[in-house]
Amino acid sequence: MFSILRSIWGVLLHTFAKRETVLYPEELPYLPPRARARIVLTRDPDGQERCVACNLCAAACPVDCISLQAAEDEAGRRYPSFFRINFSRCIACGFCEEACPTYAIQLTPDFELSERKRKDLVYEKEDLLIDGTGKYHGYNFYRQSGLAIRGKGKGEGDQENPPVDIRALHDPR
Amino acid sequence: MIVVVALVVLLGVLAIGAWLIILERRLLALWQDRYGPNRAGPFGLAQIVADMVKIFFKEDWVPPFADKVPFILAPGVIIATVLLSFAVVPFSPLFTVSRLNVGLLFFLGVSSLGVYSVILGGWASNSKYSLLGGIRGIVQMLSYEVFMGLSVVGVVMLAGSFDLSDIVRAQRGLWFFIPQILGFVIFFIGGIAVTHRIPFDLPEAENELVAGFHTEYSGMKFGMFYVGEYVGVVLISAMTVALFFGGWLGPFLPPLVWFLLKTFLFMCVFILVRAALPRPRYDQLLAFGWKLLLPLSLANIVLTAAIYLAAKG
Amino acid sequence: MPLEGRVTTIYIDNLPYGVKDGQNLLQASLTLGFNLPYFCWHPALHSVGACRQCAVKVFKDESDTRGRLAMGCMTPATEGTRLSIEDPEAKAFRAGVIEWLMLNHPHDCPICDEGGECHLQDMTVMSGHNYRRSRFRKRTHLNQNLGPFLNHEMNRCIQCYRCVRFYRDYSGGRDFNVFASHDSVYFGRYEDGALESPFSGNLVEVCPTGVFTDKPFKEHPTRKWDLQTAPSVCTGCSLGCNIIVAERYGEVRRVLNRYNADVNRYFLCDRGRYGFDFVNSQRRLRLPLVDGRELVPEGSATQALSATEGGSPRPAPASSEAKGAVVRRAVARARDILHGSRRAIGIGSPRASVESNYALRSLVGPDNFCDGMTSGEHRLVGMMKDIVASGPVRSLSLAEVERADVVLVLGEDVVNTAPLLDLALRQAVRTRPEAVAEQLLRIPLWDDRAKREATQGKQGPLFVATPYPVSIDDIAVKSYRLSPDDIARLAQAVAYAIDPEGIAPLVGAADPLHVVAETIGGSLGLAARPLVIAGASLGSEAILRAAANVATALAKAGKKDAGLFLVAPEANSMGSALLGGMSLDEALEAVRTGGADTVVVVENDLTSRLKEASFRALFDSTKHSIVLDFFRNRTTELAEIVLPVATFAESSGTFVNNEGRAQRFFEVVNPDEIVSASWKWLGLLSGRGTGEEIAWDTLDDIIARISEDLPALAAIGSAAPGARDVPQVHRVPRDSHRVSGRTANVASLTVHEPPPPRDLDTPLSYSMEGSPRGRIPSSLIARIWAPRWNSVQALTRFQEEVGGPLKGGDPGALLFGPASDRTRAYFDGVPEAFAPDPRRPLAVAIRHVFGSEPLSALSRSVSERIPSRYVGITPDAARSLAVADGERVEVTVRDLRMELPVRIMAGLAEGLCALPEGLPDMPYVGLPAPAGILKRTAP
């Protein structure tokens, strides 16, 4: 009985407590630089698309709001022929960013996504692609991978030996 | 004249009931260190207008599996009974729709008719949640009506009348909540239960029964249940004031203002209780009623009668 | 099937288990469901103990606590063997092995098509290696262009040697090998170029990592978990290999092998693997045509592109009502025609499902139904059906062919008519020497290297008699180059050699063929499981008759396990034969003289079966024509009404393979509301009277009707469960449980996610929800996947034992009962000896694995491997004509004059010339027929 009265009293005392709510549009909250919101696709230091369309972001997405199709260009690079994020479904969990093996997909602190039409929240690759490297500078996936692309032949990547001459009688190394 | 008074009471009560929703949301927010709806109109007061507009334009849908006639009837019943009870509420010496010499009995009688809306709504929805909510509602409301009725016997004894205006006048010297403190507490608890407000909102217990007896309702039918509940809160607050807190009595200010102020205070108490207390289990609720409140209210009657007789004799 | 043979008890981590005697520890552990990593072992290629990945601790006895490391795949499971998989030392060893293997593995997984279904990924995770410690540089290799089927990425190689073992040892390929030494070992061809073996595509599944990946798939790579898959049956030839068809964004993306212990087991041919692409062809019909004009649904003009970029063009999303209206208009028009006609002839197709042919048969009536085969093909297939259904010798399954010990091939160029039969025969010739090695040297059958050392490449008896050199010559004891008639005579002589009492010798008992036949007959007579193979490819009934006689003679000689294998021309030839009906020539006759004024053609491009004149005549002499087909072709051009039909990937139905095995295929692409299965269209047309009543609505309905109507086909219902047999919640999901993009795939069109398509025909669902894995009937396995096993190697989890039948029995229903109680007299009629006429050589059909099958020929990748047309002549003929290889000559066959380049074929039997049949640029000729060859005079 007493505890009931005490809790009523305790609640009443909150009349004089400070309110926690931030009155958002008038008062802007502090967002840490790594706050997760709108998703972007970044480019590598050479200005090429970083995304290699490996599908891991789509697989990691708990709301399945990422859809893409891989393709290969004439330079031998993999790229998404389309890349679509349905932001009306996105929960900004950041799993896609964690899954991304090339630092291509990154979440930015811009959370102010609102549209009159839900369809306007469907972003295609052109809407997602930015011109910079985002949070991770200097990383270029194709320098690490063993795939030959135009401008980087076999054995020219980081940590690679030149290709083996299988017809040589002795090992040149 | 009476028509004008009745109209004013009708519209006024509905308006208060509606704005009570805003009051509740703002107060709850206050006690939870939030702001609550504060965007529409000054202090968010126009929120209810927006909500009304929205709810009026919602599809008025009757589920195909429902029992049509009672389903449509049920929300009307709650609004009608609650509003009817206001006929006897003594807002001020001059401002009462109808001065009945059995006013208190009329209030008890008519307000308990409200249980039909719960029965009909729960039954006609033809859904398990509604039915369970309805059953809980019936048992709870019928049980607590008993203690509510018994708790005011002391007041009637002290005032010597069932006429609510007479009861108010009888409190000129001493407001009845002092001699009838037990009666007041029981009446107020009963009031919470009869209006099935938190903590006694078992008929609609959203985390077990979706929305209880009004699960299947939408649009303005749901709106009527909703507004009915809040008007019920106003009614119980007004009756508490009339029975225990001297109704319109008070210095300086006009009687009507006093009455409304006191009523407002009790409405706030209703909300405070909601903000503070969790919902008991169903069996705890009934055990509390029958094992504690019933003996207490009987003891209150006996005690009051004994003291009254002793004082007289 | 319960475990055969003796059961041995072994102890794994101190718990007893019963396993089949004679297995190795790796097989036993996988059968029991343990996760033991491996690379070089493959259930069909067996053990070589090269990769050291399956190391386990083996203990001498109960008291032995130290134990020793042993390779699971090289250690036999004997009674009381005690091993530990979880032993820390064994685990550390396995983790170390994978770390070495990963030293040079490139950082490629995101751009590798194998990613997500990679055995190396699975094994790496299973072994616990997760962090690269090496700071040295990686070895790199240059890639090769291996042709249109395979992509080569040699950096990813882990030197497990599975590829060469499959390509050279298992499938007999020659143009692929291993080069260089130590850590520079290189797997490839001597120089760039397409891999010649028609089984090269299996390297995609055999390679445990991404060295060999599917090249057509690489045009639009898709992860395994995103592919919508369903069990299906290959339409490429009559063997009916089981396949898994995979779809994404409304497009068929690839075909993978679906294990069936009785049919194709672990491998597919490249025609089957890459031929599916015709489904995505630009020539596909998507809308009905009436009088040559498309019926376009209202509102579809506004959006011209498909739902997802990259798909083949198809009508834009018009409303369901608009599409329904189009269907109703086309159906109403066709119904009017049918009601107004005096007599309608229905021409079915041996390539269409049993259901579609039956639907046509019941639409036009059994008397007006034509099975769509030329009279020659009709007679051959009919005879095959009789031999298989009522002969005393059973028709063998492919798996049984692999176990045959003496084989006689009569006239079939197996690799080009039934490619996987070639692969099976290559295993069959190993059975006898290997059995000897097992008995004399006690080498278990799984010990592949030792077995091959012991047998020294020795091969069991295989006799080949064909008109021209064939792929299996290299494994044959003796190949004979004979004309079709002489092949029949040889077979007859073999039958005489086995049963001299029952069979008369050839006219002129001194025929030299008798000498040859004596050898073959003697060898067959010594066999435990002799096998006779024949087929329809030479168009000779005499060969079939004689082959049946050899088989009958073997049965009379008491060979209970003797077998017969008859190669039919098309995927559902046997099903068509069981339905009955007239031949195409009889249908022409019915049109010409029988008063038929309407013709309904189903999935049959008649130009491939009729000469131009007859083809024209058919359409000229009928007033109305309704054609149901996948593509625009010559037949649809002439039709009054064309209804667009769903292919095997978009519809469901049943095929009966050459063995008489009914197998169900299931739709994997949801067709839009207009394109639908032939049997559905015909059901709509068959609604008698007015209104919307139709004869059948779902697959279950029509199969029930077939079972009632035709007792011979009654068993097709048991080929797979029907939609009604499986409750909604236990439907087999076509999507994997981690399919992605469900809320974004169509978001560019609508943000209101449409409900998944409903499927009333099959026990599968267009969803990721459904029956738990493991409770799926074997005929409905849509995906080879198990927890921790993302690659196709997960198959062991679906088998009762490694290499054994699927859990719950292999899918398919045999329509012909056992042969044991059947007796039949010998066939009569031996052709006369072939008399070569040097001036008019007999043109025989030669087929090409890529090109002779018209559907797969439309596939983009397969079309790169299709030869252009030619005429094959003997060197003698070339000399007398004075032409060189490649020079053009004028060939006249049956009034048809063609100018063809010459291909001089050493080994072509005397007095013959060879014309490729079925190639896209080759008109229908009607072989065999005498041909006139003239050297082209200079213009």
Contact C872, C913 (CB under 8 A): yes
- pLDDT for res C2: 41
**What token pair was written down for A97?**
């960013």
Any chain A CB within 8 A of the CB of C110? Answer: yes
**Domain coverage including residue B82:** 60-312
DSSP string, A73-120: -TTS-EEEEEEEEETTT-----HHHHH-TTS-EEE-S------SSGGG
pLDDT at C508: 67
pLDDT, position C689: 46
For residues B196 and B209, the answer to whether their CB atoms sit within 8 Å is no
Alpha-carbon distance of C872 to C917, in angstroms, equals 12
Instruction: Please give the mean pLDDT across all residues of chain B.
Output: 86
What's the CA gap between C809 and B11, in Å, rounded? 77
Measured distance CA(C547)–CA(C536) in Å, rounded: 12
Inter-chain contact C221–A63, Cβ cutoff 8 Å?
Answer: no
Is it the case that residue C3 has pLDDT exceeding 90?
Answer: no
Q: Does the pLDDT value for residue C273 go beyond 90?
A: yes
Domain count, chain B: 1
pLDDT > 90: percent of chain C: 70
Q: Do A122 and C748 touch (CB under 8 A)?
A: yes
At how many degrees (to 10) do helices B294-312 and B128-151 cross?
Answer: 20
pLDDT of residue A14 exceeding 70: yes
Amino acid C774: pLDDT: 64
Residue carrying the six token digits 């007239």: C582
Q: Among A24-38, C355-369, C505-519, C674-688, name the most confident range.
A: C355-369
Q: Residue C296 corresponds to which tokens in the numbers above?
A: 């376009």
Could you tell me if C143 lies within 8 Å of chain A, comparing CB atoms?
yes
Q: Does A11 touch chain B (CB under 8 A)?
A: yes
What is the average per-residue pLDDT within C624-652?
Answer: 93
Residues of B with CB below 8 A from A23's CB?
A: 35
- Chain C residues with CB under 8 Å of A119 CB are 747, 750-751
Q: Give me C372's structure tokens.
A: 């769509």
Which band of pLDDT confidence, cut at 50, 70 and 90, is reported for residue C317? low
Other C-beta atoms within 10 Å of B217: how many? Answer: 25
* Contact at CB, B31 and A21, closer than 8 angstroms: no
Are B200 and B279 contacting, i.e. CB atoms less than 8 angstroms apart?
A: yes
Q: Looking at chain C from residue 767 to 786, which residues have their Cβ under 8 Å from any Cβ of chain A?
A: none
Test the A interface: residue of B31, B266, B270, B279 with most A CBs within 10 Å = B31
| Token pair of A89 as six digits | 């479904």
Q: Which of A56, A84, A164 sits opposite C747 (nearest CB)?
A: A84
CA C161, CA C40: separation in Å to the nearest integer? 7
Percent of chain B with pLDDT over 90: 3
Task: Give the whole-angstrom CA distance, residue B247 versus residue C305.
Answer: 75
Give residue-wise pLDDT tens across range B189-238: 888 888 888 788 877 777 778 777 888 888 888 888 888 888 888 899 99
Per-residue confidence (pLDDT) for residue C20, from 0 to 100: 86
What pLDDT is recorded for position C33? 92
Within chain A, residue ranges assigned H as helices are 2-13, 56-60, 95-99, 125-128, 141-144
The answer to whether residue A93 neighbours chain C at the CB level (below 8 Å) is: no
Which range scores top for mean pLDDT: B175-189, B205-219, C358-372, C670-684?
Answer: C358-372
Would you say residue C309 has pLDDT above 80?
no
CB–CB of C280/C272 below 8 Å? no
Chains A and B touch (3+ CB pairs under 8 A): yes
Which residues of C are less than 8 Å from A82 in CB distance? Answer: 308-310
- Intervals of CATH 3.40.228.10 along chain C: 379-568
CB of A20 less than 8 A from some CB of B: yes
Residue of A nearest to C738 (CA): A59
pLDDT band at C939 (very low <50, low <70, confident <90, very high): low
pLDDT above 60 for C299: yes
C911/C876 Cα distance (integer angstroms): 9
Helix (H/G/I), strand (E/B), else coil: B173: coil
Eight-state DSSP code of residue B74 = H
User: What is the DSSP secondary structure assignment for residue C439, as one 8-state letter?
Assistant: H
Query: In this complex, is the C-beta atom of A19 within 8 Å of any C-beta atom belonging to chain B?
Result: yes
Residue of C nearest to A57 (CA): C740
Q: Is A21 on the interface with B (CB under 8 A)?
A: yes
Q: Distance, in angstroms, between A16 CA and closest chain B CA?
A: 9
Closest CA to C160 of C47, C82, C261, C248: C47
Distance CA C768, CA A59 (A): 14
Place B40 in a pLDDT band, splitting at 50, 70 and 90. Answer: confident
Q: Quick one: pLDDT at residue B91? A: 84
Q: CA C170 to CA C45: how far, in whole Å? A: 7
Question: Among candidates A97, A127, A131, A132, which has minimal Cα distance to A115?
Answer: A127
Contact flag A161-C140 (C-beta cutoff 8 Å): yes
Q: Under an 8 A CB cutoff, do A55 and C219 touch?
A: no
Q: Of the ranges A71-85, C118-132, C316-330, C625-639, which one carries the lowest mean pLDDT score?
A: C316-330
CA-CA distance, C821 to C428, in Å (whole number)? 27
DSSP-derived secondary structure letter, C445: T
Give the pLDDT of residue C182: 81
Contact between chains at B35 and A19 (C-beta distance less than 8 A): yes
Identify which of B31, B34, B276 has the shortest CB distance to residue A20.
Answer: B34
pLDDT of residue C311: 41
Instruction: Flag whether pLDDT at C312 surpasses 60.
Output: no
Q: A3: buried, middle or exposed (CB in 10 Å: 19+, 13-18, 0-12)?
A: exposed
Query: If residue C54 lies in a helix (H) or strand (E), which one and from where to where?
Result: none
Q: Which residues of C touch A78 (CB under 8 A)?
A: 110-111, 221
- Residues across chain A: 173
CA distances from A171 to A168, C177, C180, C184, C728 (A): 7, 20, 10, 9, 63
- C 310-369: CB under 8 A from A: 310
Q: Which of A14, A16, A18, A22 to mutate to test the interface with B (most CBs of B within 10 A)?
A: A14
Whether residues A86 and C743 touch (CB distance < 8 A) is answered with: yes
| Residues C329-341 pLDDT 10s | 999 999 999 988 8
Range(s) for CATH 3.10.20.740 in chain C? 7-101
Q: Would you say residue C6 has pLDDT above 80?
A: no
On whether residue B192 sits in a domain, the answer given is yes
- The answer to whether residue C306 scores a pLDDT higher than 50 is no
Answer whether A86 sits within 8 Å of C153, measured CB to CB. Answer: no
Confidence band, pLDDT 50/70/90 cuts, at residue C749: confident
C 219-258 residues with CB below 8 A of A?
219-223, 225-226, 248-249
Q: Using CA atoms, how far apart are residues C48 and C51, in angstroms rounded to an integer?
A: 8
Mean of the per-residue pLDDT values of chain C:
90
Instruction: Please give the average per-residue pLDDT across C385-400, as a whole number.
Output: 90
Residues 27-56 of A with CB under 8 A from C: 52-56
Residues of chain A with C-beta less than 8 angstroms from the C-beta of C116: 55, 59
CB-based contact, A168 to chain B, within 8 Å: no
CATH number of the C842-935 domain: 2.40.40.20
Is B31 close to A15, i.e. CB distance below 8 A? Answer: yes
How crowded is the C-beta side of C339, counted as CA atoms within 13 Å?
Answer: 12
Lookup: tokens for C469:
């050199």
Q: Do chains A and C touch (3 or more CB pairs under 8 A)?
A: yes
Interface of A with B in 22-81 (CB under 8 A): 23
A77-95 average pLDDT score: 94
Residues 6+ apart with CB under 8 A from C105: C120, C138, C155, C156, C158, C209
Average pLDDT over residues C24-33: 94
Q: How far is CA C219 from CA A74, A151, C280, in A?
A: 12, 22, 13
Find out whether the peptide bond into B199 is cis, omega within 30 degrees of 0: yes
Do the two chains C and B touch, given a threshold of 8 Å on CB pairs and at least 3 pairs?
no
Q: Please say whether the beta carbons of C247 and C736 come within 8 A.
A: no
| Helical pair B103-112 and B128-151, crossing angle rounded to 10 deg | 170
Q: What is the pLDDT of residue C546?
A: 94
**pLDDT score, position C113:** 93
Query: A–C: how many Cβ contacts below 8 A?
Result: 149
Distance from CA of B188 to the nearest CA of A (A): 14
State the smallest CA–CA distance between residue B29 and chain A in angstroms. 9
Domain at C7-101, CATH from 3.40.718.10, 3.10.20.740, 2.70.150.10, 3.50.50.60: 3.10.20.740
CATH number of A31-138: 3.30.70.3270
Question: How many CB pairs lie under 8 A apart between chains A and B?
Answer: 34
Contact indicator for C837, C911 with CB cutoff of 8 Å: yes
Confidence band for C402, pLDDT divided at 50, 70 and 90: very high
User: Pick the residue with more confidence: C255 or A173?
Assistant: C255
Please write the tens of the pLDDT for every residue from C865-923: 999 999 999 999 999 999 999 999 999 998 899 999 999 999 999 999 999 999 998 99
Interface of C with A in 510-529 (CB under 8 A): none
Q: Span C840-862, mean pLDDT? A: 93
In a domain, B273, yes or no: yes
Q: Give me the pLDDT at residue C234, please.
A: 95
In sequence order, the 6+-apart residues with CB closer than 8 A to the CB of C566 are C384, C387, C388, C395, C533, C534, C535, C536, C544, C547, C658
Nearest to C359 by CA among C691, C715, C680: C680
User: For position C690, what pLDDT does the model report?
Assistant: 46
For the cut 60, the answer to whether the pLDDT of residue C305 exceeds it is: no
Please, where are the H alpha helices in chain B? Answer: 2-31, 47-56, 68-85, 103-112, 115-124, 128-151, 153-159, 164-169, 181-194, 206-209, 219-244, 255-276, 282-287, 294-312
- Name residue, tokens 């894995």: C773
With 0-12 / 13-18 / 19 or more C-beta atoms within 10 angstroms meaning exposed / middle / buried, residue B69 is exposed
Residue A149 touches chain C, beta carbons under 8 Å: no
pLDDT over 90 at C195, yes or no: yes
Indicate yes or no: CB of A21 within 8 angstroms of CB of B35.
Answer: yes
Does residue B35 fall inside a structural domain? Answer: no
Nearest CA in chain B to A13: B31
C379-568: what CATH class? Answer: alpha beta
Residues 676-735 of C with CB under 8 A from A: none
- Mean of pLDDT values over A58-86: 94
pTM of the predicted model, to two decimals? 0.83
CA pair distance C116, A54, nearest whole angstrom: 10
In chain C, ranges of CATH 2.40.40.20 domains: 842-935
Q: Are C568 and C238 in contact (CB under 8 A)?
A: yes
Reported confidence tier of residue C604, pLDDT bands at 50, 70, 90: very high
Asked if B204 contacts B228 with a C-beta cutoff of 8 angstroms, the reply is no
- Tell whether B24 is covered by a domain: no
Structure tokens at C125: 């995770």
Residue B22 lies in a domain: no
Q: Which residue would you say has higher pLDDT here, B125 or C168?
A: C168
pLDDT band for A27, please (50, 70, 90 cuts): confident
Q: Give the side-chain half-sphere CA count within 13 A for C756.
A: 14
pLDDT at C396: 92
Q: Residues C700-723: pLDDT tens digits?
A: 999 999 999 999 999 999 999 999
What's the CA gap between C205 and C792, in Å, rounded?
Answer: 7
With 80 as the cut, is the pLDDT of residue B90 above it? yes
Taking an 8 Å cut-off on Cβ atoms, the answer to whether A10 and B276 are in contact is: yes
Q: Any idea where the domains of chain A sit in the sequence?
A: 31-138
pLDDT band at C301 (very low <50, low <70, confident <90, very high): low
pLDDT value at residue C75? 93
The pLDDT of residue C5 is: 58
Q: Which amino acid is at C552?
A: T
Picking from B19-28, B91-100, C352-361, C466-475, which range would have the lowest pLDDT averaged per residue? B91-100
| Cβ atoms of residues C381 and C574 within 8 Å | yes
Over 60: is that where the pLDDT of A135 sits? Answer: yes
Q: Does B142 touch chain A (CB under 8 A)?
A: no
